[in-house]
Structure 1
């Protein structure tokens, strides 16, 4: 198929640099998914899954013989996890929307994770970083420690988004702080640039969800009873 061949091979030449169009397109799908996510729209999940499929091929540059021939197994692996967790998120947001969980029309009602849920997330973060570090190191991934954190944090952030945790935006910010220098060192400049944009966007997303959370809580509070008139 001619369009598929173009998508796999098309490059954008900027000076002496070669950038794959599918890296640009995949990241644009990711940005669109983040925008829909901030607005708590179900479309965030399928849009993101398209981006995951495209970026999977980008991060395995050595396997797919791209200009950036470094294999970032953690970055590629997280696209697979993204795809799987996004399928869960898609299902969950459709369910919560059908039950009108969010009174303002969003697919999910933002909430803070409970202390127990936070402990679970922390434990999974430690186990994930350690486990993925040794796995990625054995696979020959470039920068296995930051790659392990990006993979772990991305999985937890996506899961947190599916559950409606306000904290998921903060996890994304921590992922971006590590991801930007890693991608710059490898030469994946569009992805690094978008990580910077994501980081700024996540700050606004966090504030937006926090605002919605407060509005929903205020709307749920019972109105104060009016004083009874004499003779009632």
Structure 2
């Protein structure tokens, strides 16, 4: 237990500021999860869960006596939410990938699901949310942010309104990722815009830096998903191949 405690409390000093290694490692797992999500790989979910567990202890600074000694209930709460939604996303993507593998095997019987995992089969197909789903997202964002801001204020959270939006936006983005909505990348951008100044002011420098990295990564991911979505839509709309007559044609001179 002493060794585990020492590992959890290990710090790195940069510019006179003490930074927990588990904050750095937790954010690294989060970045790996985001990369996996962009690639639509199932392993993105369990990797993200590990990072969430580490960051949960980081953002309850007053409880776990971190160098910042600040409680950000929204940031900590969203780690719990991430884990819950991530289990749903993990299951959802796994089922979708299994269905894709079965379909691939039926289309090409020479391919073995066991021996050839068919890495080209993705777990989810990007698509836009419907108008009704978008309206529901906006309504949820407004109501949840206001309610959470009040709750976090009562709990004594540091920066309750910004913390509330980060919590709400993260919940929407993670759920949207699980559903395959391309809009979830845009929600992440809104989270990053608010999250960077909040974390810098609170002294969570690795997380703030990672939010900046996430911002660039999210833009990249958005355009990757958008390209995939357009390519698949074009393929679906393309006319079926016309059988070509194999009879030899006379050569023109």
TM-score interval (norm. to shorter): over 0.9
Q: Find the aligned partners of 1:225 and 1:155 in 2 and give their Cα distance.
A: 43
**Match for residue 168 of structure 2?**
152
**Match for residue 126 of structure 2?**
110
SS of alignment partner, residue 18 of structure 1:
strand
Match of 2:159 among 113, 124, 143: 143
Larger CA deviation: 174-183 vs 91-100: 91-100
Report the alpha carbon displacement of residue 13 of structure 1 after superposing the two structures with TM.
Answer: 1.2
Structure 1 stretches lacking a partner, 5+ long: none
SS of alignment partner, residue 100 of structure 2:
coil
Q: Find the aligned partners of 2:45 and 2:242 in 1 and give their Cα distance.
A: 45
C-alpha distance 43-226 of structure 1, shift in aligned 2 (>3 A): closer
C-alpha distance after superposition, 1:28-57 (max 9, x if no partner)? 000000000000000000000000000000
Which structure has the greater CA radius of gyration?
2
Report the alpha carbon displacement of residue 4 of structure 1 after superposing the two structures with TM.
Answer: 2.1
TM-score (norm 1): 0.94
Give the alignment of 1:16-165 within 5 angstroms: 16-100=16-100, 105-165=121-181
Report the alpha carbon displacement of residue 3 of structure 1 after superposing the two structures with TM.
Answer: 4.7
**Match for residue 215 of structure 2?**
199
C-alpha distance 228-16 of structure 1, shift in aligned 2 (>3 A): closer
Aligned-residue Cα RMSD (Å) equals 1.8
C-alpha distance 138-25 of structure 1, shift in aligned 2 (>3 A): same
**Match for residue 9 of structure 1?**
9
SS of alignment partner, residue 99 of structure 1:
helix
Match of 2:227 among 188, 211, 221: 211
SS of alignment partner, residue 211 of structure 1:
helix
C-alpha distance after superposition, 1:99-145 (max 9, x if no partner)? 22998521100000000111111111111101101100000001110
TM-score (norm 2): 0.86
Q: Find the aligned partners of 2:178 and 2:142 in 1 and give their Cα distance.
A: 21
Larger CA deviation: 214-223 vs 102-111: 102-111
Larger CA deviation: 160-169 vs 117-126: 117-126
Q: Find the aligned partners of 2:59 and 2:52 in 1 and give their Cα distance.
A: 11
Q: Find the aligned partners of 2:135 and 2:100 in 1 and give their Cα distance.
A: 29
C-alpha distance after superposition, 1:121-178 (max 9, x if no partner)? 1111111101101100000001110000000000000000000000000000000000
C-alpha distance 214-186 of structure 1, shift in aligned 2 (>3 A): same
C-alpha distance after superposition, 1:6-36 (max 9, x if no partner)? 3311000123110000000000000000000
Structure 2 stretches lacking a partner, 5+ long: 105-119, 246-253
